[in-house]
Structure 1
Amino acid sequence: MSLAWLRRLDDLLGGAEDLFLAATHGVIAALVIAAVFFRYVLSDPLIWTEEFIVIVFTWMLFIGLSSAFRQRMHIRIDALLIVLPRRGRTVLGVIAVAVTAATLVALVWFGTEQALIMLGTETPMMRISAAWAVSALPVGAALSCIHILRHALCDGMAETLWPQDLVGAAEGEV
């Protein structure tokens, strides 16, 4: 079975995540500078910037979570990789992927539920639906699930948690 479609989808989503993260970093930096300028130079503070920055930062946090899964950059215990044979890494990979995927699916469910609850609630300054901020959780968790699925199906369970260069180094030492 060809998984090229999954690789293409994951690469497309990863590129969009990287672009989003770069753009939102710039937006936050510009808004902080503008807020300081308006408050201290013009003595006319922009009252909406803090709320907007918090919402954008929330989105950055959860899209960054997903990006870290794609790049295999989350905290891991590399010492196990060195002492475990390939079969042990595979078993540990299956357990870790199952637990992580179950947690992420639960976060998608919970986040979607919370976003639906918050649909009718407005933010105090911008008067937009609070669901915009809350929806970052299920979106980030769903993207993370796609990245993990790609690693698990395309690279195998033994390499799902660890970068390939680390796996290769461990296999050379064992």
Structure 2
Amino acid sequence: MKNTMKSVALTTGLLARVALWVAGAGLVAMTALIAAQVFWRYILNDSIVWTEPASVMIMGWFIFLGAAVGIREGYHLSFDVMLYLVPDRVKLVLYSISDLAVAGFGVGMVWFGWKLAAKTAANMLPSLGISGAFDFAPLVAGGVLVVLFSLERVARRAAGLPTARFGEDAVEH
């Protein structure tokens, strides 16, 4: 099981790296679009109508992709005061419970994001000319990654591999 989980960790690590690069590129693209909008509006006294909705959509992508990667790496928000008081075996159980709760949240992101996308699929975003469902695609994609990365953390812990959370050592690549 350890070898299988190491292979899974390498694959999800690559997926996380790609997601992080996409998120970073999205941040740069959004910044460029906003800068162009400011230049056009205040210097050229004109406006590019599609930059604001495109920037908001791109922002959704880098937020949800970055959050999913943060969950994989153990950087998500947690309340860990009790962890200082309990034995290591209890900590591992509490980590797994936390990861399963996060996975449940990811399932909710996928479920409700999909429902929102389905309800807005027939609407067109006027300035972009695309379906309103695209507004919710980052929520669904981020939710899928949250579930995948959370379950990976539980499986890695069950296999006796570190998860790089709260002082646990990272898996060696």
Give the equivalent residue in structure 1 for 2:42: 40
Give the equivalent residue in structure 2 for 1:23: 25
Give the equivalent residue in structure 2 for 1:144: 146
Instruction: Select which of 49, 52, 71 maps to 1:50.
Output: 52
Query: Retained in 2: the 8 A contact 1:93–1:159?
Result: no
CA 1:8 to 1:97, structure 2 compared with 1: closer, same or farther past 3 Å?
A: same
Alpha-carbon distance, 1:81 to partner? 2.0
Q: Distance in 2 between matches of 1:161 and 1:12?
A: 15
CA-based RMSD: 2.3
Percent of aligned positions that are identical: 26
Q: Distance in 1 between matches of 2:42 and 2:52?
A: 15
Q: Distance in 2 between matches of 1:93 and 1:34?
A: 45
Q: 1:98-120: per-residue Cα shift (whole Å, max 9, x none)?
A: 22222211221111122122211
Q: Distance in 2 between matches of 1:43 and 1:63?
A: 35
* Equivalent position SS for 2:130: coil
Give the equivalent residue in structure 1 for 2:6: 4
Identify unmatched segments of 5+ residues in structure 2.
none
TM-score for the superposition, normalised by structure 2: 0.86
Identify unmatched segments of 5+ residues in structure 1.
169-174
Q: Distance in 1 between matches of 2:95 and 2:161?
A: 7
Name the one with the larger helix percent: 1
* Equivalent position SS for 1:78: coil
Give the equivalent residue in structure 2 for 1:171: none
Instruction: Select which of 117, 131, 135 maps to 1:129.
Output: 131
Query: Retained in 2: the 8 A contact 1:108–1:141?
Result: yes
Query: Retained in 1: the 8 A contact 2:92–2:157?
Result: no
TM-score for the superposition, normalised by structure 1: 0.85
